[in-house]
Amino acid sequence: MAERPSLETLWPAWCQRVDNYLEHQLPRTEGQPGQLHAAMRYCSIGAGKRFRAALVYATGASLGAPERALDVPACAVELVHAFSLVHDDLPAMDDDNLRRGKPTCHRAFDEATAILAGDALQTQAFELLASGTELEVTAEKRLEMLTL
């Protein structure tokens, strides 16, 4: 029996998959509203340990799913997590100054942009699940994923 790669080997590769996918899926900062798009990218690309995405990839791997089929749900769960952190850091909540060693979104941009960026990240997650072409599941299964 072939030896399975260790989690220590797989985790960095999974993080890179998420960042690469988000890099291509999130709106670019050119054009309007560039500041909003920059805030979305600031809060989600290259951010965090990707623990939730790793759970998606590990679960999928244990069930025999190909990694490419897991990119959409892994990225969607990371976007929802980023949304929750952006909103949690706001002055009306925890009013944090730092997140993951850098200024929080509302400090790096402004409060209104942070609120809109968080909302847009959540919306982007739902859009990925609803229409991601790499996700080879029926429309019914897509709707089911949106309710989880």
Per-residue pLDDT of the chain (148 residues; tens, 9 = 90+): 567 788 889 999 999 999 999 999 999 888 789 999 999 999 999 878 999 999 999 999 999 999 999 999 999 999 999 999 999 999 999 999 999 899 999 999 999 999 999 999 999 999 999 886 777 777 788 778 777 7
Give the residue ranges of DSSP H helices in the chain.
7-25, 34-44, 51-62, 67-89, 105-108, 111-131, 139-146
Q: Is residue 112 part of a domain?
A: yes
- Residues in Cβ contact with 78 at an 8 Å cutoff, skipping those fewer than 6 apart: 18, 22, 44, 48, 50, 52, 53
**The predicted structure's pLDDT at residue 1:** 57
- Residues in Cβ contact with 66 at an 8 Å cutoff, skipping those fewer than 6 apart: none
Range of the domain at 71: 8-25+36-146
Domain count for the chain: 1
Q: Which two tokens stand for residue 38?
A: 């920059």
Q: Is residue 76 part of a domain?
A: yes
Report which of 113, 94, 96, 112 is spatially closest to residue 104, judged by C-alpha positions.
96
d(CA 68, CA 32): 31
Q: Is residue 85 part of a domain?
A: yes
**The predicted structure's pLDDT at residue 143:** 77
**The predicted structure's pLDDT at residue 64:** 92
Q: Which two tokens stand for residue 35?
A: 């500041």
Q: Is residue 31 part of a domain?
A: no
**The predicted structure's pLDDT at residue 23:** 95
pTM value surpassing 0.85? yes
CATH number for the domain spanning 82: value is: 1.10.600.10
